[in-house]
Amino acid sequence: MSNTSLAPLPSSDRTDVTARLRDALLSASFSADGLLDLLGAPAYAALARSETVPALRATRGDSPLEALVRLFLLQQPVPHARVADVLPVEDCLEGGWLLRVGGDEVAAAVDVRPYGGPGGEDWFIVSDLGCAVGGAGGIGSHDEGVVLGVGGASTTLAGITVRAPAASALDLGTGSGIQALHVAQHATRVSATDLNPRALHITALTLALSGAPAADLREGSLFEPVAGETFDLIVSNPPFVISPGARLTYRDGGMGGDDLCRTLVQEAGERLNEGGYAQFLANWQHVEGEDWQDRLRSWVPRGCDAWIVQREVQDVTQYAELWLRDAGDHHADPVEYQARYDAWLDEFEAREVKAVGFGWITLRRSDAELPSVVLEEWPHSVEQPLGDTVRAHFERVDYLREHDDAALLEAHFTLVGEVVQEQVGLPGAEDPEHVVLRQHRGMRRATKVDTVGAGFAGVCDGTLSAGSILDAIAQLVGEDPVLLRDRTPAQIRLLVEQGFIEPAAR
């Protein structure tokens, strides 16, 4: 199916109309905070699940904000006269933001959704009607050119992205432009690419309506539109779904299995400047007889450190059902639904795929002689945003690579804030069975340590060197200090690597 069946989009050239529309929306408190105040938390949360009934009930009044919510979020026709009290309605009709319907009513041409930026900015995300928050479950979701708004994957990627100043940044597969909008806050030059020209048009609208600088928009697949260029930051929420065929452009990769994600990661290395980051969301296959970590390790390009976190694993039936529901196929004719389900399982069976993993992939161009490649499974809760946590991970990689065991013993460390100690053992026992250090920020890790490790971490305040602390512990427990110095650096290295202690500022 082609893009021609989708509704016409507002003009991206009428920046004067877009600026007036933005001013009018903000004047009416059409913002993330304004919506929460109007709708209340339950209706606001329901809207994020694409459930509109609570919001319809909450907007039965006649205030300007209620009119805008019905118009842009709920896609309800609103009387022309009522809209004219809030918006420059004739300009919006001429610019294509609104359409005349019925006798004296107007309707929105696109979904416009308030979105609060990390610094309190009032942004707006534009998307196709019925395809805003929570996935494409509504009108047009079977059209290959449909452009979705902000979903959980979008906000996850935005949260883990390193927000360091960048001269150049690339949002690959930009969709509605959410990543480009975030990146524009800390990058001098932003390029955004997409295979779908409709997505590029909507990205231009998102940026303009949010008051952000325009991006360099280019049509094409993967890195083809930016051939020969390099960047300080690359972000991508690609169409990573592993499916039979490429029926839906917004989610299906169009390559066999997880080849699109593999290709994206492998080709990113040569597109990064030294010290630059590439950050992706991805799916990967769990193939019979193959370790998923070995599979992902083979994707990492030469010259790059990597941190790969598997957040979730689904068996092939769960995975197929998730994405069949996403496209609304469960509402189709039962025979057609079964045929589609069979096609998914046939594809997985042919590839000997038993499950599919989902997670985050971060590359950092270091050109190190011995790159660091860390792969882990972490299905537990984390504290977003994690951008600073990601950057700190690679800073620790550099530190540990530059310090051998002797250097670690000479170094001074401090215990990271929000780390607590838990002792686990039988009631009444003289000594605990084991001691756990637990983080309450970032990745919220927990790690077991012995009594020496717990004692060491507890007195790390930057005053004494690691070796001096161990000498004092050896005297307290009656252990040979030389032997203690020999066996403890591995534990110190682990505590640094996982972010429980950090080098003291000197």
What stretches of 411-474 adopt beta strand conformation (E)? 412-415, 419-424, 434-439, 446-449, 461-465
Which of 192, 251, 253 has the alpha carbon at shortest distance from 218?
192
Structure tokens at 100: 């005349």
Q: Are 360 and 385 in contact (CB under 8 A)?
A: no
> What residues in the chain have per-residue pLDDT under 70?
1-5, 132-144, 246
Q: Are 180 and 192 in contact (CB under 8 A)?
A: yes
406-455 tens-digit pLDDT: 999 999 999 999 999 998 877 877 777 789 999 999 999 999 999 899 99
CA atoms within 13 A on the CB side of 301: 23
The predicted model scores a pTM of 0.94
Tell me whether residue 335 is exposed, middle or buried, using C-beta atoms within 10 angstroms of its C-beta: 0 to 12, 13 to 18, 19 or more.
Answer: exposed
294-348 tens-digit pLDDT: 999 999 999 999 999 999 999 999 999 999 987 777 878 899 999 999 999 999 9
Q: Are 440 and 497 in contact (CB under 8 A)?
A: no
- Location of structure tokens 């006269």: 81
Distance from C-alpha of 461 to C-alpha of 473, rounded to nearest angstrom: 15
